[in-house]
Chains A and B, each alone.
Chain A
């Protein structure tokens, strides 16, 4: 068993999930079964292999350039409302579960 109930509680905390007792037990079982399967990656020696975070790094970039210059094609001028108009306040609040017309409303943040 790689993942214990305590690990599940810790990870749920990081992920802002509570999970019921039943869900936690299921999670211990499922995560262990999946991680057992994932274990096979350790058969591969990757000590000299570069990690790949983005497909875009495999094509379309100027290979002669380094760092952010490689991705110059994806950059644009930093101008206000350069690509589209920002959402107006009322549109931005339209989907909020609770708003007062100006702000999103949430339960009290600071306890005292």
Chain B
């Protein structure tokens, strides 16, 4: 067994059966990070002491012959937007450069309660705002499959860590595509659960009505195991839903024959790279050969998703980021003489360019005289986008699309053109707006060996079906 190439089940049972130890698995991953991460840049902070303590706890359980929990001894990475008690949590921003949270994010606590060994915190676009990970205030992340290319964003560090075997699984967050798009660029699996499926408690807020926590893994089954671990009602997040959590991994083996898969022409229009189109069409053919029925559906408001998203997400961000005032836990500029100067200079120096751009756009959209024209308008179009899905899901069980219109692009390629960068999320944002779950699963590669992702979207709280379709495809491909 190559210790950094394991799945969750393989790692857990090897530790359970004393073929290896959680300690050895953690050390093997730290050695890999030591060797590889200098050029990739996936991690911002390692928490070795915490990891080895947890590994030791798991090893003692195994030694005593106690059954290990589902993630017992499994080395994982956590996107640096999730609070970790006693471990620096920056959200990729200078303004939180020294922030040490006094409590754990619920999703992280649930991972650790299930036996996971948290190796460290992964790099991301500042406040999860970006599609390339170039907006990190610390350093960009490079795609492990081609160091001249981006890993996608904003969960680029989590995706790169899993793809480069520096963690077995990782948690990321998805507000407009930030789990699925980097998963697609790095050739791994990324799952955005239904809004409300996973508690957001302890997740540093970007856009509260759109933020989702979810897994990035190398197999669909691992995504299923992690989702079950982190899902479920949490009294600390009033938007977390009290809906039963199935055993997703057990449901993977249910047959896909007879499932109706929707294909929407709006996701195959201009701007879709030919190689991506071809790979996704082949994947759909493969699903057809597995007995799925392919049904054309229409999602007519799709072209309005990006503008809707950028109004709602920035409006919510401008409100959420008002808390960074240099008083309680964020960076304060030196030598300030008045309260007002303190706020302004601290925020000016603490936030990066893209974050300021979004705060400005959001503040503008909410300001007197523009609220109805922009923010309220976007909320109404959000209803239309959601109705599109509701109508389509009256006819089909899931919808298949490309995850991203292109494979991973080069560093610097879009960094001076905010709008071009925003369009990288064109196939992912709509699911965030509607609150439906989506998964990206690898479906081949380009001639240049760059991975391509197939996206499968499902009904509210029906992660089981999209996981099942993704799993069937993965096993057949």
The CA of A50 and the CA of B384, in the complex, are separated in Å by 9
- On whether the beta carbons of A15 and B363 are closer than 8 Å, the reply is yes
- On whether the beta carbons of A107 and B338 are closer than 8 Å, the reply is yes
- Cβ of A42: which chain B residues have Cβ within 8 Å of it? 377
Q: Which of A20, A59, A71 has the most CB of B within 10 A?
A: A59
Chain A 1-35 near chain B by CB (<8 Å), digits 1 or 0: 00100011011101111111001001100110111
- On whether the beta carbons of B327 and A76 are closer than 8 Å, the reply is no
Q: B374 at interface (Cβ–Cβ under 8 A)?
A: yes
The CA of A8 and the CA of B360, in the complex, are separated in Å by 8
Q: B458 at interface (Cβ–Cβ under 8 A)?
A: no
A62, chain B: closest CB distance, angstroms? 12
- Cβ of A92: which chain B residues have Cβ within 8 Å of it? 102, 328
Q: B367 at interface (Cβ–Cβ under 8 A)?
A: yes
The CA of A76 and the CA of B196, in the complex, are separated in Å by 17
Q: B361 at interface (Cβ–Cβ under 8 A)?
A: yes
- On whether the beta carbons of A107 and B337 are closer than 8 Å, the reply is yes
- On whether the beta carbons of A104 and B418 are closer than 8 Å, the reply is no
- Cβ of A31: which chain B residues have Cβ within 8 Å of it? 357, 360-361, 364
The CA of A46 and the CA of B103, in the complex, are separated in Å by 43
Q: B301 at interface (Cβ–Cβ under 8 A)?
A: yes
Of A15, A20, A75, the residue contacting B318 (CB under 8 A) is A15
The CA of A8 and the CA of B329, in the complex, are separated in Å by 28
- Cβ of B311: which chain A residues have Cβ within 8 Å of it? 38, 41
Q: Using known A-B contacts A44-B381, A53-B209, determine if residue A14 contacts B418 with beta carbons closer than 8 Å.
A: no
Of B336, B381, B418, the residue contacting A107 (CB under 8 A) is B336
Of A43, A75, A84, A104, the residue contacting B327 (CB under 8 A) is A104
- On whether the beta carbons of B460 and A96 are closer than 8 Å, the reply is no
Of B195, B345, B384, B419, the residue contacting A55 (CB under 8 A) is B195
- On whether the beta carbons of B381 and A30 are closer than 8 Å, the reply is no
B-contacting residues, A67-90, CB 8 Å? 71, 73-76, 83-84, 87
The CA of A18 and the CA of B382, in the complex, are separated in Å by 32
B465, chain A: closest CB distance, angstroms? 16
Q: B395 at interface (Cβ–Cβ under 8 A)?
A: no
B335, chain A: closest CB distance, angstroms? 10
Q: B473 at interface (Cβ–Cβ under 8 A)?
A: no
Q: B199 at interface (Cβ–Cβ under 8 A)?
A: no
Interface residue total, chain B, C-beta cutoff 8 A? 73
The CA of A60 and the CA of B461, in the complex, are separated in Å by 10
The CA of A31 and the CA of B330, in the complex, are separated in Å by 27
Interface residues of chain B: helix, strand, loop or mixed (majority): helix
Of B103, B348, B363, B435, the residue contacting A11 (CB under 8 A) is B363
Q: B253 at interface (Cβ–Cβ under 8 A)?
A: no
The CA of A33 and the CA of B286, in the complex, are separated in Å by 41
- On whether the beta carbons of A56 and B341 are closer than 8 Å, the reply is no
B418, chain A: closest CB distance, angstroms? 5
Of A16, A52, A84, the residue contacting B382 (CB under 8 A) is A52
The CA of A91 and the CA of B329, in the complex, are separated in Å by 11
Q: Using known A-B contacts A56-B241, A104-B327, determine if residue A30 contacts B418 with beta carbons closer than 8 Å.
A: yes
- The residue in chain A whose Cβ has the minimal distance to the Cβ of B210 is A55
A56, chain B: closest CB distance, angstroms? 5
- The residue in chain A whose Cβ has the minimal distance to the Cβ of B329 is A95
Q: A112 at interface (Cβ–Cβ under 8 A)?
A: no
Q: B114 at interface (Cβ–Cβ under 8 A)?
A: no
Q: B453 at interface (Cβ–Cβ under 8 A)?
A: no
The CA of A3 and the CA of B235, in the complex, are separated in Å by 43
Q: Which of A8, A12, A52, A87 has the most CB of B within 10 A?
A: A52
- Cβ of B338: which chain A residues have Cβ within 8 Å of it? 107-109, 111
- On whether the beta carbons of B356 and A17 are closer than 8 Å, the reply is yes
Q: B30 at interface (Cβ–Cβ under 8 A)?
A: no
Q: A98 at interface (Cβ–Cβ under 8 A)?
A: yes
Q: Which of A7, A11, A23, A75 has the most CB of B within 10 A?
A: A11
- Cβ of A71: which chain B residues have Cβ within 8 Å of it? 238
- Cβ of B331: which chain A residues have Cβ within 8 Å of it? 97
- Cβ of B359: which chain A residues have Cβ within 8 Å of it? 15, 17
The CA of A108 and the CA of B99, in the complex, are separated in Å by 25
Q: A100 at interface (Cβ–Cβ under 8 A)?
A: no
Task: Pick from B37-45, B64-72, B135-143, B302-310 the stretch touching chain A.
Answer: B302-310
- On whether the beta carbons of A52 and B196 are closer than 8 Å, the reply is no
The CA of A75 and the CA of B235, in the complex, are separated in Å by 9
Q: B242 at interface (Cβ–Cβ under 8 A)?
A: yes
Q: B343 at interface (Cβ–Cβ under 8 A)?
A: yes
The CA of A43 and the CA of B303, in the complex, are separated in Å by 11
Given pairs A3-B364, A44-B384, 12 additional interface contacts (CB within 8 A) = A8-B360, A11-B363, A11-B364, A16-B344, A18-B344, A41-B307, A55-B435, A56-B239, A59-B241, A95-B99, A104-B327, A107-B338
